[in-house]
Structure 1
Amino acid sequence: MLKRTVTKWAFKAHGWLGLAAGIFFLLFGLTGSILMFRTELDRKIHPELHELAVGRKTAPVDQIYRHLAVRYPNLKKIVLHDFPVNSRDSYEFMIYKNQQGETEGYLYFVFVDPYTGKILHEGNYSAFSPSFFRWLYQFHYSLQLGMPGKLFSGIVGLVMVLSLITGLIIYRKHFWDALRFKNVLNFKNQRTAVSSLHRVIGVWAMVFNLILFFTGFWMNMDFFMPSGWKINPPIVNQTVAANMDLVIDQSKKIKGFSPIAVTMPTVS
């Protein structure tokens, strides 16, 4: 009797949870899929940033880092996000501003010519026009709503995890059969066909979706606590004494290690 009651409750909860989070599942899945190919698409759309004239000597990354620390005040950090993939490509930096409002856009991008050190293109991730893919990046993580958006994304992730748990309760008797495609597909009519396909696809995708949405929830878990909403006072940027070019060169000498990004602090 108890099992029947739990299953009945889980069936209702599973439907409502899936309906509530389904549209955002589709939205996050679509934007995430596009972002997987951001680099390739960006190079096709903006050749002026990735087909540069080759110079005789490259500008020091350390010099660019210190220039950006002056150009952009009140920062949390500067990240060399993308190294040039060839001799004609540019550097891309991510600028993390010290957020002064709950909905304020805090991410900026800067493209720099590796030979001249000249800024080629810069803008806010919150603005649609300078770079659609960077706008989409921030939309994917926070719906362009800042802290409330990150909290909401975390809630969606948690709702989907609960949906998966209730689905496991409902289909627990068919779980192993679904994995083996044994006596689970029924195409007698449209309703049974959809139900059986949902069961099989849901079981096979369960582990993947659990990892996907739990990590999405975990990434935004800080915003479930008051400390995650703390607004820090403005700060004066500080740079480290270490030479960034030397740091990068030394890291490349480590066997089996290839640096893909460098975080450059602006606070002591």
Structure 2
Amino acid sequence: MAMRISGSTMRRNVRKVHLWLGLTLGGFFALLGLTGSALVFYQAIDGCLHPEIRVETSQPAPGWNSPVWDRALATLHVRWPDRKGNWRFEVTGEPGALPVRYQPPHAGHHDRRVMVWLSPDGRTILREAVWGEYLMTFIYDLHMQLALGETGHAAVGWIGVGLVFLLATGLWAWWPRGTWRKAFRYKHEGSLSRRLRDIHKLAGLGGLALLLMLAITGAMLALPGQTGAVMAPILGTAKAEPAPHSSGRTGRQVPIRQALIAAHAELPDARIAWVEAPGPGDGAFMVRMQQPDDPSFRFPHSFVFVDQYDGQVLRVDDSRQAEPAVLVTN
């Protein structure tokens, strides 16, 4: 009898924890869910809001050996000769405008960047916008860091941890003590509060696996340091290597096309996703590529770095040879 009372008390306490977690974090869950859903259609929505970048062309999408990349870089240098940072071209694989990001020297990933779209031939600037100052990038920052910088980025991670506890306590509170058939039952003839409770129960059970996956992976992405510490005893520590430097600091930069050909020779089965042309100094070309078994189309996990002055390959980061900890986080 004492054990039954203890079990009932535990279940009651778990329900209270579940309730207060939902009341405290529910608004954040809704916000992250809505913004995340919008970001799935990020490029399509942005194109609808800015028709100037929705251009039709009979030209194929530029590839490994296309002269468009160097022509586009020359257009950018003529338009903004004082910008000495890196220009990062996205390779969409589809005909149309060329999206480019300008990364100022010494800027971090979440710092303010300038976004530019060029005509398909790389000769004309179609649009310029500052990251965070137009709708879709504001939504991105809201989803990633609640528009609060690094503090918000960490907060999103801990909110994800809270969601895991919310789901776990909900499952615990629901776990049937009697027949399983009754636990899955929806009472059509019940009161409004009973029907709402049944809908909440069945919706939670139906989405449990997906919500757990989203919460855990989202928390891992937002809390990389804590994730690494947890995985280290099992998978080892992932080594983050800085980007290599070119052989000199001055000289004539080789064409982007030459850097792409060198990168393609290293990973011939890969698809090009991004190419970054460095500014003056000892930076290197960075070519980001998708291997056939890499599930990430837009942000794949293989890189080739090429010396900007002599076109020699400096380093190859092949996702197929990544350490176990890196494979999990990827």
TM-score normalised by length of structure 1 = 0.73
Bigger Rg over Cα: 2
Following the alignment from structure 1 to structure 2, what is the Cα–Cα distance between the partners of residues 139 and 4?
41
Following the alignment from structure 2 to structure 1, what is the Cα–Cα distance between the partners of residues 122 and 85?
26
- The C-alpha deviation readout for 1:101-137, integer Å capped at 9, x for no partner, is xxx743432212231344332222221xxx3222222
Q: Shift of the alpha carbon at 1:224?
A: 5.9
| Pair 158,39 (structure 1): closer, same or farther in 2 beyond 3 Å | same
Matched, 1:264 2:271: no
Matched, 1:161 2:169: no
In structure 2, what is the equivalent of residue 215 of structure 1?
217
Matched, 1:38 2:42: yes
Q: Secondary structure at the match of 1:40?
A: helix
In structure 2, what is the equivalent of residue 119 of structure 1?
125
**AA aligned opposite 1:60:** V
Following the alignment from structure 1 to structure 2, what is the Cα–Cα distance between the partners of residues 93 and 177?
55
In structure 1, what is the equivalent of residue 199 of structure 2?
197
Following the alignment from structure 1 to structure 2, what is the Cα–Cα distance between the partners of residues 105 and 247?
30
Q: Secondary structure at the match of 1:111?
A: strand
Matched, 1:185 2:186: yes
Following the alignment from structure 1 to structure 2, what is the Cα–Cα distance between the partners of residues 148 and 61?
37
How is 1:107-146 mapped onto 2 (pairs within 5 angstroms)?
107-127=113-133, 131-146=134-149
Of 106-115 and 205-214, deviating more is 106-115
Q: Percent identity?
A: 20
Contact 1:62 1:245 in 2 (8 A): no
| Pair 48,239 (structure 1): closer, same or farther in 2 beyond 3 Å | farther
Following the alignment from structure 2 to structure 1, what is the Cα–Cα distance between the partners of residues 45 and 213?
27
Q: Secondary structure at the match of 2:117?
A: strand
Unaligned ranges ≥5, structure 1: 226-236
In structure 2, what is the equivalent of residue 80 of structure 1?
89
Contact 1:175 1:203 in 2 (8 A): no
Contact 2:69 2:122 in 1 (8 A): no
Contact 2:85 2:102 in 1 (8 A): no
**AA aligned opposite 1:139:** L
Q: Secondary structure at the match of 1:115?
A: coil
Contact 1:151 1:223 in 2 (8 A): no
- The C-alpha deviation readout for 1:119-176, integer Å capped at 9, x for no partner, is 332222221xxx3222222222112221111111112111111101111111122799
Following the alignment from structure 1 to structure 2, what is the Cα–Cα distance between the partners of residues 90 and 161?
41
Contact 1:81 1:92 in 2 (8 A): yes
In structure 2, what is the equivalent of residue 234 of structure 1?
none
Q: Secondary structure at the match of 1:26?
A: helix
Following the alignment from structure 1 to structure 2, what is the Cα–Cα distance between the partners of residues 49 and 139?
24
- The C-alpha deviation readout for 1:50-108, integer Å capped at 9, x for no partner, is 21566799643256468679764466xx543352622xx111124455447xxx74343
Q: Shift of the alpha carbon at 1:49?
A: 1.2
Matched, 1:13 2:17: yes
Q: Which has the higher contact order (CA 8 A, sep 6+)?
A: 1
- The C-alpha deviation readout for 1:211-257, integer Å capped at 9, x for no partner, is 111111111103769xxxxxxxxxxx977977344267669962xx5
In structure 1, what is the equivalent of residue 26 of structure 2?
22
Matched, 1:51 2:63: no
**AA aligned opposite 1:145:** L
Q: Shift of the alpha carbon at 1:265?
A: 7.3
Count of aligned pairs:
243
TM-score normalised by length of structure 2 = 0.60
In structure 2, what is the equivalent of residue 246 of structure 1?
261
Following the alignment from structure 2 to structure 1, what is the Cα–Cα distance between the partners of residues 10 and 277?
52
**AA aligned opposite 1:116:** G
RMSD, aligned CA: 3.9
Following the alignment from structure 1 to structure 2, what is the Cα–Cα distance between the partners of residues 176 and 258?
53
